[in-house]
Amino acid sequence: MIHALLLAAAAPAAAPAAPQAAPAAVLPSDPSPADWVAISDDQLLVFTLASGKTVTVRLADGYAPVHVANIRKLAAARWWDAGTSVYRLQDNYVAQWGDATEKKPLAAGVVANPAPEYDHAGPTAVARLGRRDPYAEWAGYSRDGWPLAGIGKREWLPHCYGMVGVGRDMAPSTGSGAELYTVIGHGPRALDRNIAVVGRVIDGIEWLSSLPRGTGDLGFYMTPAEYSPIVSARLASELPPATRPHFQYRATSNPRFAAWIVSRENRSPPFFTVPAGGADICNAMPPVRRTP
């Protein structure tokens, strides 16, 4: 049974929306039902590709409010519904989407280059990893299920797999939010504090990460025929109630989550025989799931 068991215990426990088998016994790291908290409909932005597949982003309105307000205005104006696509796939780096021609006017009220929203006052984390982060003094979790990293009195959302950032030109440009990317490889943490992070793909990232890699510089597709068109972007709050997706984050300020952190830092037998004693934030992303 090599292949059925292979790496079984190593499977990421925090995979969004993965079906969860009933545990044989309640572990200290298991959430209680009340630990799952609904994500509000206006924090969920659903992109639909021409293939019909959807990619759902949880918006980090508390962390990059002006950029997220732009993104909501673009969705409300149906800006993404025509002439936009996934136009860049750089292996072990990012998938990027928006208007490849760069000629489409922004929607009314969208700020072209907001002030930087790369970090904010802190620390506000309610739980932390045990070891120092290589890119910060600490890494941990917000009360409402976001990963954080921080130095001194500042903290920020780290560039981990699935996190969504705002494409921009050279500094001092910060980008409007019309061009977005998500991480599809090892977390490029050098981007932390240099780009506005506005959310996290919590469902459907495989429809981006499995696209063919672009063969131009930096993974841009060489021809428009290679683009994956986007047909719409909607906040869940804009969708008919019957078709709205529902997701939950796991609360982080309780002893069960503290035990979960320790379990991520020390993976257990029978598959693992040597626990690491530590983890980095991108391998211990806060759990999110589709509402059962």
- 120-139 residues in contact with a second copy (CB under 8 A) are 129, 131-135
**Smallest gap from residue 1 Cβ to a second copy (A):** 7
Using rule CB under 8 A, residue 3 touches a second copy: yes
Residue window 261-290: x/- pattern of binding to a second copy, with contact defined by CB under 8 A: ---x--x-xxxxxx-xxxxx-xx-------
Query: Which tokens is 65 given?
Result: 């409010």
**Smallest gap from residue 150 Cβ to a second copy (A):** 13
Binding to a second copy, residues 207-246 (CB under 8 A)? 209-213, 218, 220
Using rule CB under 8 A, residue 150 touches a second copy: no
Using rule CB under 8 A, residue 259 touches a second copy: no
Using rule CB under 8 A, residue 185 touches a second copy: yes
Tell me how far CA of residue 97 lies from CA of 26, 50, 276, in angstroms. Answer: 42, 13, 37
Query: Closer CB to a second copy, residue 35 or residue 99?
Result: 99
Binding to a second copy, residues 16-45 (CB under 8 A)? none
d(CA 145, CA 112): 29
**Smallest gap from residue 76 Cβ to a second copy (A):** 22
d(CA 37, CA 144): 8
**Smallest gap from residue 28 Cβ to a second copy (A):** 19
Q: For residue 139, which amino acid is it?
A: A
d(CA 248, CA 228): 29
Stretch binding a second copy (CB under 8 A), from 8-16, 48-56, 225-233, 248-256: 8-16
Binding to a second copy, residues 93-112 (CB under 8 A)? 93-94, 96, 100, 102
Query: Which tokens is 173 given?
Result: 């440009």
Residue window 153-172: x/- pattern of binding to a second copy, with contact defined by CB under 8 A: -------xxx----xxxxx-
H or E element in which residue 166 lies: strand 163-166
The radius of gyration of the chain from alpha carbons, rounded to an integer in Å, stands at 19
Query: Which tokens is 59 given?
Result: 């918006």
d(CA 27, CA 186): 30
Query: Closer CB to a second copy, residue 66 or residue 139?
Result: 139
d(CA 35, CA 16): 16
d(CA 273, CA 278): 15
